[in-house]
Structure 1
Amino acid sequence: MDLFEDDTPDNGPGNSPEFTVSEISGAVKRVIEGEFAHVRIRGEIGRVSTPRSGHVYMDLKDDRAVISGVIWKGVASRLETRPEEGLEVVATGRLTTFPGQSKYQLVIEDLAPAGMGALMAMLEKRKQALAAEGLFAQERKKPLPFLPEVIGVVTSPSGAVIRDILHRLRDRFPRKVLIWPVAVQGKACAPEVTRAIEGFNRMTPGGAMPRPDLLIVARGGGSLEDLWGFNEESVARAAAASQIPLISAVGHETDTTLIDFVSDRRAPTPTAAAELAVPVRGELLAWVADQGARLTRAQTSAVETRARWLRDLSRALPRVETLVEGPAQRLDHLGDRLPRALTGLAQRRRVELSEKGGLRPTLLRGRISEERRRLDQLSARLAPALSRSVAVKSERLAARGRIEPSRLARQAAQGRTELTALMGRFDRGARGQIEAQRQRLTALDRLRETLGYKATLRRGYTVVRDEAGQVLRDSMAAGSAAGLEIEFADGRLSVGVGAGARAPVPEAAATSASKPAPKAAPRKAPKSDGGGSGGGTPPEQGSLF
């Protein structure tokens, strides 16, 4: 019997059956689920809610009505199309009621975009969202390596795409290729491509399986539904996060997917991706050969140009003979003047030395006396200085406190060693200075003997003086003198009016009569050449006979 039918005539309110709320709700539920056990509803997704339980609640609407829909957690994880607000879809499921709120709803088991327009609208919405995050920005794209060692290819291993890529790489520049097989369409496409890109990036550089230097994600042409796996947000984000430069080659030149916008380079075809990955080896060899030829020509031209400049400059320079003639003539002129200049210089120095009185023993004795007085003064200052030094050392010793005998012994030994070394140095220095002074004195005495007129007297010359001791330089002065004194090498002889002649007095005896002569260092007698030019003539003498 129908729940809403009454077999008895209208007998008044007292005969009408009564139902509880739950009974009515259950009856409505059975009717709706029995009549609409499987339905497909086309509409636009309105409000979408995803609580922590994992279920998805949403509204399907058109311009005049709204139906509530629910996607249970297990079904939501398997859907290819994620519910997005504003997307027009075709929902497949069953109608049921929810007695707790007195409403009916659609339990969705499948969700698909309602035609090409819906897919394009969803694709455009995803593109705008990713672009707003900056994943399409040009500045974040990485440059491709010029010649990668290893190339990773994400594609189907059984299609013609991988054969085209390998063939093109072999023709242009053979490289190592790692293939990660994936499904290029269907439900498994997006997750497998995502795992392949992330897997290549997790490889260790230089490991047993080398990490690729470049990635190629490739697929042949197809419809929008066939290429939809490359429009998924997970694939786009994996390509954008890849640390390895990535080339997308999905579909033909007119096909565009989201991975094309986030990849570092887009190739119109898989073959073009291989061409972007490596250069042509033959072209590189030809370019290197051309650059080598250009370098050789440039070097040859540079050498010829510099040789020409050198020849031009050499013609402008004077001849070597011309440069040497002037200095050579000046050298000859100065060489001719040099002997005369040396003779004149020696003569001037001899005159200056004679005017200064020559080297006398009195000067040497005076210098020795002066140095002795200076040494006496320094000796007198030595004792106070030593006393002050001892006092300072004593104060320091008292300030330091008790002194250990072993330390004193070590210091004494060290001081004794230093004193011995200093005494040795002092002895060597003193001996050296004495020897140097002795050599200098010997040299000066030898110079005195050489430059003095005594050597000239020993060769037979004499010095004539008047009674006042002045040297007579000509016969007229000798004739007008009252008395003459002639000096020989072995003594002096006086002659003249009223003077008489007396025996020559040796010079050594005359000198010793006044004061004792100082000791002279032993020296060799100067050699006499037997002529009149040896030894030089003293500037004091007048006539030499």
Structure 2
Amino acid sequence: MSSFFDSDSPSNLTEYSVSELSGSIKRTVEQAFDQVRVRGEISGYRGPHSSGHAYFSMKDDKARIDAVIWKGTMSRLKFRPEEGMEVIATGKITTFPGSSKYQIVIETLEPAGAGALMALIEERKRKLGAEGLFDPAKKRPLPYMPRVIGVVTSPTGAVIRDILHRISDRFPVHVIVWPVRVQGEGSGNEVAAAIEGFNAFAADGPIARPDVLIVARGGGSLEDLWSFNDEAVVRAAAASRIPLISAVGHETDWTLIDYASDQRAPTPTGAAEMAVPVKADLEASVSALSARLKAAVGRQMDNRRQTVRALTRALPSLDQLLALPRRRFDEASAGLGRGLQMNTANKRRTFERTAAHLRPDMLSNRISERRQKLAERMVRAERIVERLIQRSASRVSAADASLRTLPARLLSQIQRSQDRLTGLSGRADSALLADIRRRRSTVTAHDRILQSLSYRNVLKRGYALVRDDAGLPIKSAAALAQNQAIAIEFADGSINALTTEGDASPPPQPVKRRAEKAMATAPPKQGSLF
């Protein structure tokens, strides 16, 4: 029976470590609850910590959640939290993996008052959020340098002047204003129609299509900003193919369009700052980068030039580079002649040692020795046979004399033995004669080899042997001196001659021609005589 904790369990569930699971939960919670508004009662508030952060809880009659306000956010709050105060907190949910807890990081905090409207906003927010209109993955980045900006706002308020003034100061671009009402009955439909109208512009139409949209309105109460909580406005903002900046109200004012837009600005002026960069800063940055680039290129060229010069100085001259190879070449060329001479001398000594074993006189001596040994063995064999025959004859005679006295029944057996002895004697004679013939044929073969290796056969083919006055063969023309007496031996005799003045060395012949001539003059090869 397999163990319950067998590592080969058939389950296909992914195995996580504790830290991996905690990190995954943290990312999931932060992505799903990036921006939330929570209404509840403050509990456990003890004021800011020594670090400036505030830690407490928010609760209702059924649950509670930990909350934290960081030091930077605490300094921007319009009022101070108090124990038991009912508030509406806006922030994001995050987890603390060290203790498996989650908490809300509060970014804005306001006292609860408009209960019915807030409940309606929360309900609509949950509904639209469930449809994915507030999904952070759908938010598009803003273009860095837009050419055309579309603004949806009231044409008579201070908001449009602030936006135009801020854009003109930072980076003057073409601005198209779509005038709408930003408050009152039907204002939400006008804002939604303006967003859809900008998206309907053709890219190459008579009116330039904006690269970014700004939906702006000044601050006000919850009722004043209600048009931007309209479902049509939120859906139009979420469906916009042009990146949209929401700039409704002041920094603490939040509407549903802020969640559906691609970017939220705390103020209309902040929206203008988000839409365009500062032209002067860009020009200064470009000038600074250009100057740095030129300086870097100059320094790089100087460094490379100095490096090349240093490497050039470090390189040896042509004579220095070729000195060692030249010396090695000279040594090799000087040793080449000596090596050839030594190699020739070694080959000549080897040839002479080999030729010493192939001299005709040595072969003649060996053949004579073999003939003498063969003759001696033949004589000895004849003597041995004679002695054997005599010994056998004496034995036969003795046996015959002794057998004459035997009964007649033994005479036939003796006769058979006598016949057998006669047959063996005849076989011995035949074997001896066959051995003699075989040895005679061997001697004849050796004699033919001796005759084929004799230099006299070479002379018969038209060659001549030159000897000095001492009778020694002359192997090269360089060994002769002027007016030196020589003997020239032919196949039919020899004559005496005297050398005359002239170039003793014949012109060199190509290797191939010398090889062909040697092959033409060389004696034909003989097969084995055995």
Global fold match (TM > 0.5): no
Task: Tell me the TM-score normalized by structure 1.
Answer: 0.43
